[in-house]
Structure 1
Amino acid sequence: MSGELTKARAQINKVGTFLKQAKPLPAVSALYEAIAAVMRTPLIRSEKEEFSKLITDAVLHLNGDRNLRTIYPLILDYKPGAEKELADQLFNVLGELQATAVEAAKDIIADKEQRIAEGLAQGKLLIEEKRIDEAKALLEKLAREHPHDADLRARIAELFIGGELYEEAFSYLDEAIELSPDQIHHYNRIAIVLRKLRKYDIAERYFMRAAEFAKSDPNLYFNLGRLYVDWERWDKAEKSSRLALRLSPEFVEARKLLNYALKKQGKEPETA
């Protein structure tokens, strides 16, 4: 038996397993792909008989599945030798299942977004009412429910920034960066937080990490220069503003930053 037929047999045998797992879409897809392989391959008599029995059993499983019947109430019809007709039926079933899956996914996403919005609104209110411990507990629980959501952590951090709770904001922004290290705006926000905490050296390290993903972003170097101004590292502020201007010669704020850094070093200001 060819490798393709071996694979087709394995796919048909998965139909029952998928249905037991309440997964009608992969079950139907497995049978559809297996039949397509069978139709492409010349079969000897014994192989035709084997696959006819396997397909018949798989169709019985599908017809008896309650989950599938809810979505596609029509009974699948199969007779040995009518694989093409069955494949056409399965194609229609797949269309119905895929459409249902898309709608279900939309509902799940909408429900998730609503729960997140409600949680953030409640957390914001608690912070405004200075019920900080309650806010921390609620927002921590919300974050745990969505362990891979970097944007959520950034939004939670914004709430803490609004309440001037910079240590808490830093923690969530740090997690956001770990989950999504290429999102440059997270680095800018965490730098603001760290400047408020006067942790300039840590902020510098985050900017160096950001530069790995945005070497051509003049705003990144401008924000780094602002950090050096707060840190009173005038030579580094000069260097960063020059990098920003090299990338964007018309960057007015970077020009102002450069001249301010030059003035602090006793140097002459420059014009464009």
Structure 2
Amino acid sequence: MDASPKNVREHIARSKFYLQRKDVLRSLRALSQALNMLAGSQIFGRERIEISILMEEAVRLLCEHDVVKRALPGGLSYKKGQERELAAGLTRMADALEALLGKAQLEERRKRLVELDELVLGGQAELDNKQPLEARKFFRRAMDSFGDEPGLLVDLGNRLMLAGLALEATEYFQKSIEIAPTDPRAYTLLAQCLEALGEGAKAEEVIKASLRRFGPDEGLLVRLAQSALKRKSWKEALASAQAALELNPTGRDARRCAEAASERLFGTAQGYLSGEAPPPRRPIEL
């Protein structure tokens, strides 16, 4: 470790900075490092005197903090030649504080999850009782207070969707995509809701966005093919179905879509498999 005067000063300054931000743990760690560096340094003369003054001030400020006062009512003092002993004491205090903070964080996490469970289960109970407005109040509170919990928004949206509230569910899936775009479930479920609402074009855009982000998926490609068949876009339907068949040559749904499109394009369900010259296959536009 670099025990130059500059580095020792920087660690002392860092300790004071952390203390100003009420980060006692990092302040203790930084000052302990500074003391250990000073103990093993070859700093003499005026520089040593200046650093000793800075060190005395840093220790005094640290001891004035409530956390340190409670731990050491008698306080601490810096004495030249006892840097290692003081550093060891600060390290022990930092270790103890870190353990306490860890326990406090775990307890806070436990309370947070209990509160979240109460909101989710309360909302589900209202859905079971056919009280969607009350359920949405519970879910809204859960989203506003715990929206950063991984998978929560997808779970809430799925509960609404299963209760037949597709329109209400879309908000949760859209929010999930916004804050956690790497969760593929939100795309798939949002597309399902949009399809149920008669928004086929929007559903296709969501599916294409999912394919762009996560790569080819047989189920999504089949859904694109099925949507294209409804629009009578035979070439698009065949392209999507063939892409799905490349992933799973035995896929029944993909084969049905390919045969339906082939019937329209070639006059025979097996035309796309025969030696007949099919229309040029265009890549799927995502």
Alignment correspondent of 1:11:
14
Instruction: Say if 2:207 and 2:224, in contact at 8 Å, map to a contact too.
Output: yes
Counterpart mapping for 1:175-254 below 5 A: 175-228=175-228, 233-249=233-249, 252=250
> Is 1:28 matched up with 2:28?
yes
Counterpart amino acid of residue 102 in structure 1: G
* Cα displacement (A) at 1:245: 3.1
* Identical amino acids, percent of aligned pairs: 20
Alignment correspondent of 1:262:
258
Alignment correspondent of 2:65:
65
Instruction: Say if 1:72 and 1:93, in contact at 8 Å, map to a contact too.
Output: no
Counterpart mapping for 1:12-161 below 5 A: 12-14=15-17, 16-18=19-21, 21=22, 23-39=23-39, 41-68=41-68, 76=76, 78-149=78-149, 151-161=151-161
Counterpart amino acid of residue 205 in structure 2: R
Alignment correspondent of 2:281:
none
TM superposition score normalised by structure 1: 0.82
* Cα displacement (A) at 1:134: 2.1
Distance 1:165 1:31, change over 3 A: same
CA shift digits 1:159-197 (9 cap, x unpaired): 211211111100110000011112112111111111111
Query: Max radius of gyration: which structure?
Result: 2
Looking at structure 2, the residues matched to 222 and 107 of structure 1 have their Cα atoms a distance apart, in angstroms, of 47
SS state at 1:164 partner? coil
Q: CA RMSD in A?
A: 3.0
SS state at 2:151 partner? helix
Looking at structure 1, the residues matched to 74 and 154 of structure 2 have their Cα atoms a distance apart, in angstroms, of 48
* Cα displacement (A) at 1:208: 1.8
Distance 1:172 1:36, change over 3 A: same
* Cα displacement (A) at 1:219: 4.2
Aligned residues: 264
Unpaired runs of 5+ in structure 1? none
CA shift digits 1:58-94 (9 cap, x unpaired): 3334444332465688965642122222222222223
* Cα displacement (A) at 1:199: 0.8
Counterpart amino acid of residue 258 in structure 1: A
Deviates more, 1:108-117 or 1:236-245: 236-245
Distance 1:85 1:241, change over 3 A: farther
Deviates more, 1:73-82 or 1:110-119: 73-82
Counterpart amino acid of residue 158 in structure 1: N
Unpaired runs of 5+ in structure 2? 274-286
Instruction: Say if 1:200 and 1:231, in contact at 8 Å, map to a contact too.
Output: no
SS state at 2:259 partner? helix
Deviates more, 1:37-46 or 1:223-232: 223-232
Distance 1:124 1:220, change over 3 A: same
Instruction: Say if 1:8 and 1:38, in contact at 8 Å, map to a contact too.
Output: no
Looking at structure 1, the residues matched to 5 and 52 of structure 2 have their Cα atoms a distance apart, in angstroms, of 17
Instruction: Say if 2:218 and 2:248, in contact at 8 Å, map to a contact too.
Output: yes
Looking at structure 2, the residues matched to 68 and 230 of structure 1 have their Cα atoms a distance apart, in angstroms, of 71
* Cα displacement (A) at 1:154: 1.1
Looking at structure 2, the residues matched to 204 and 72 of structure 1 have their Cα atoms a distance apart, in angstroms, of 65
